[in-house]
Amino acid sequence: MKKRGVEKKSSSINIKYFFGNTVCSCLATAFVTNKLLIQTKMCLPIFARFDIYFLYNEKLEQVTVQVEKVIRENTGQDIMIVDVLNQHKNFRKLVDTIIAGKHA
């Protein structure tokens, strides 16, 4: 089999959010256009609203999300499924890029 000449894009982004006095740094993956999967060690309760921060085109972006579901894993990395509450154009472009990378 031939290898692809183009390197596959990452389907996750690095995000940060605050949990009390702690800054949590983790990966978020686009699930669908208005939902993200966040792999983290510190999950917030269901229906909690919080802001996530990420870099896009060298600018710090802020998006408000709400926890829809928490999945506990034995590995210590739990998963939060969150709904994106305020979708501005930069976030929409970012999600489209992530989803395109997953299916490339």
Using CA atoms, how far apart are residues 76 and 66, in angstroms rounded to an integer? Answer: 22
Q: How far is CA 41 from the centre of its chain?
A: 14
Confidence of residue 42 (pLDDT cuts 50, 70, 90): confident
Confidence of residue 68 (pLDDT cuts 50, 70, 90): very high
Q: pTM here?
A: 0.74
CATH architecture of 12-102: Beta Barrel (2.40)
Using CA atoms, how far apart are residues 101 and 104, in angstroms rounded to an integer? Answer: 5
Task: Write phi, then psi, for 73 (nearest 5 degrees).
Answer: -110, 155
Report DSSP state, residue 11.
Answer: S
- Averaged confidence pLDDT in the chain: 79
Q: How far is CA 68 from the centre of its chain?
A: 13
Report DSSP state, residue 1.
Answer: -
